[in-house]
A and B are shown apart, each in its own frame.
Chain A
Amino acid sequence: MSANLSAILYLVSGVLFILALRGLSSPETSRQGNLFGIIGMLIAVTVTFLSVGNFSSGFIYVLIFLAIGGSIGAFIAYRIPMTAMPELVAGFHSLVGLAAVFVAISAFINPEAFNLGTPGNIKLASLIEMAIGAAVGAITFSGSIIAFLKLQGIMSGAPITFKGQHALNALILFSIIVLTFYLCSTQSANLFWILIAVSFLIGFLIIIPIGGADMPVVISMLNSYSGWAAAGIGFTLENTALIITGALVGSSGAILSYIMCKGMNRSFFNVILGGFGATEQSGSSQSKEQRPVKSGNADDAAFLMKNASSVIIVPGYGMAVAQAQHALREMVDTLKKNDIKVSYAIHPVAGRMPGHMNVLLAEANVPYDEVFELEEINNDFANADVAFVIGANDVTNPVAKTDPQSPIYGMPVLDVEKCKSVLFVKRSLSPGYAGIDNDLFYKENTLMLFADAKKMTEDITKNL
């Protein structure tokens, strides 16, 4: 196949990838978008086979390895529970990162295969692109592994900080630049290996100080990195499809990180420098005093809801942990049978990744037109009878609006307290991730329901 024709076809697959993302602007077009993405990928892979044009024994092995990876991927995709989506995405990011590293290594060892020169005499531009691709890929890999371990609970979600952390990170980042510079002048393989090793290390160090609830930002950021890594390799291979895709994914992840940071009213650097939960906890614990709390049982909650005419549900990470989404939908079905209007309010940073709550509700067959974003629904709380907060905490805390001293001051929150009554499903009175007490617990019109989220919702349904 001529180089021009394959370049045009790579462009076509790049355009199809753009359409794949475009499709996600509404749920109706999204499935078609995904199909465009699959076609784009098929074109890219087929064109690569045809342009290499070498159908020797190596080709058979390519197909075999493709089938191995493909079946593992398909198996995971069908078996993974929806609550584990953040871990899955983090895991997948690590694979893209590692694949980028491997391609860069292969290109470094055998540059002739990619028309980049000969070993020890690689074109300068290619070498820089390769080094960038490998370094960013390595950072994506080790960072995503840490994110995966934290989300999976294998590693503690608490931030891990130590003295001189920032200085060390800055030093390592600086050394990556120096190494790239020397790599270009000496073409030394040893320097290339050291560069990769140091990048693995920095990826690890960047993510360990970030706490569990900041994971939405981290996952989005790693999503972005995996895109830049792909783009770096795209420049090395002079491949348009990879360059376009890398740029798309890179900017997509960056935008998601921005949205998540805004949802917490924190700057990107504040999140990345980490240690949020650890530093704030000490301040709030002293001011804690015993205040009266009204607590109730499923019967009380059912009574309140039965007499309501509209109910707003506020789900949070606790719903995902308790896998309560199906029980919740059954409760809502019962409410709807009694002609009670029900809607769902989703805070941008609820859960552990962007859109986490929406996926779980969709899994439980909640129609997406009953689910609203913060700005869309926040004015409705004043007119609603009952707010049912299930597994959320900080995103409802009115202190963010009233107390400039509070660490979450300025964060957009759901105006749950404006409802006539608030039902709070929670396992204990313990403060949320930010380590601050929630004034809502002590309000006149708040009823605390201390129980596992799933069990409580089931009990309420029985009592309705």
Chain B
Amino acid sequence: MEIDPFIFRLSIFILSIFVGYYVVWSVTPSLHTPLMSVTNAISSVIIVGAIIAAISGNEGVVFTSSSIYGFLAIVLAAVNIFGGFLVTQRMLAMYKKKKKDK
């Protein structure tokens, strides 16, 4: 009997939860705020769904009842991607080590 591809995706999902569990516990507490902003940015990879939804409308018609939701989702996800990564970068740039000469 063949295995449903859903099971493979479920396996990836479960294993990723474990990977996430161990990776996040190793994050130093002083970086918890950047952790939240970067997870926020990467969860906007949902934009791949938005792009598919936006492009695959009818031939010749750009805005259909379904693609319009795709376009809206693109805007929201893009705000998050750019905003999330840039603000994380801005924060991380501030974490500096003590200068040796002091």
**Interface residues, chain A, with chain B CB atoms under 8 Å away:** 10, 13-14, 17-18, 20-22, 24-28, 30-31, 33-34, 37-38, 40-41, 44-45, 47-49, 52, 54, 56-59, 61-62, 65-74, 76-78, 80, 82, 85, 88-89, 92-93, 95-96, 98-100, 102-103, 105-107, 109-110, 112-114, 125, 219-220, 223, 226-227, 230-231, 233-253, 255-256, 259, 336, 346, 348, 353-356, 358-359, 362-363, 365, 367-371, 373
The answer to whether B53 and A113 touch across the interface, beta carbons within 8 angstroms, is yes
Rounded to whole Å, the gap between the CB of A94 and the closest CB of chain B is: 9
8 of the cross-chain contacts (CB-CB < 8 Å) are A37-B41, A41-B81, A48-B51, A74-B86, A234-B9, A362-B96, A365-B94, A370-B98
How many whole Å from A28's CB to the nearest CB in chain B? Answer: 8
- Give the number of chain B interface residues (Cβ < 8 Å): 84
Within the assembled complex, what's the spacing in Å between the Cα atoms of A346 and B31?
13
In-complex Cβ contact of B89 among A34, A68, A85, A238 (8 A): A34
Contacts of A255 in B (CB 8 A): 21, 24-25
Please give the distance in Å from A31's CB to the nearest CB on chain B: 5
When the two chains form their complex, are residues B45 and A248 in contact, meaning their CB atoms are under 8 A apart? no
User: B8-32: contact bitstring with A at CB < 8 Å (1 yes, 0 no)?
Assistant: 0100111011011101111111111
CA distance A369 to B45 in the complex (A): 34
A373 to B32, CA, bound (A): 12
Task: Kindly list chain A residues whose C-beta atoms are within 8 Å of the C-beta of B79.
Answer: 69-70, 72-73, 76, 92, 95
Q: A78, A102, A354: which contacts B72 (Cβ < 8 A)?
A: A102
B53-78 near A? 1/0 per residue, CB < 8 Å: 11111001010111101111111111
Contact of B48 among A31, A110, A237, A358 (CB under 8 A): A237
A238 to B65, CA, bound (A): 23
Q: Which residue of A lies closest to B95 (CB)?
A: A27
Q: Are B82's CB and A62's CB within 8 A?
A: no
Question: Is A249 a contact of B42 with CB atoms below 8 Å?
Answer: yes
Q: Return A359 CB to nearest CB of chain B, in Å.
A: 5
Cβ contact of B51, chosen from A24, A45, A248, A371, cutoff 8 A = A45
A369 to chain B, nearest CB (A): 5
How far, in Å, is B3 (CB) from chain A's closest CB? 14
What 9 A-B pairs are tightest by C-beta distance, nearest first?
A69-B78, A355-B32, A73-B83, A73-B82, A110-B66, A247-B16, A354-B32, A77-B86, A251-B20
CB within 8 Å of A: which residues of B? 5-6, 9, 12-14, 16-17, 19-21, 23-57, 60, 62, 64-67, 69-99, 102
Overall SS of chain B's interface: helix
Contact of A105 among B9, B41, B54, B69 (CB under 8 A): B69
* Given A24-B34, A65-B71, A69-B81; 9 other pairs, CB 8 A cutoff: A26-B28, A48-B48, A59-B55, A109-B65, A113-B52, A235-B9, A248-B20, A353-B32, A355-B36
Beyond A21-B20, A38-B85, A62-B51, whether A96 also contacts B43 by CB under 8 A is: yes
The answer to whether A92 and B84 touch across the interface, beta carbons within 8 angstroms, is yes
Cβ-defined contact, B42 with A37, below 8 A? yes
Given contacts A37-B42, A106-B73, A368-B95, whether A359 and B34 have CB atoms under 8 Å apart is yes
Closest beta carbon of chain B to A140's beta carbon, Å: 10
| Contact in complex: B46, A24 (CB < 8 Å) | no
Q: When the two chains form the complex, which single residue of A21, A102, A367 contacts B50, counting CB atoms closer than 8 Å?
A: A102
Bound CA span A239–B13, Å: 11
Whether B97 lies near A249 (C-beta < 8 A) is no
Q: CA A150 – CA B90 in complex, angstroms? A: 25
Q: B53 near A103 (CB under 8 angstroms)?
A: yes
**B23→A21 contact, CB < 8 A:** yes
Chain A nearest CB, measured from B11 CB (Å): 10
**Are A93 and B40 in contact, CB atoms less than 8 angstroms apart?**
yes
Smallest CB gap from A32: residue in B: B92
The chain B residue sitting closest to A92, CB to CB, is B40
* Among B36, B56, B86, B93: residue with most chain A CB under 10 A: B36
Nearest chain A CB to B62 CB, angstrom units: 5
A328 vs B29: C-alpha distance in the bound complex, in angstroms?
21
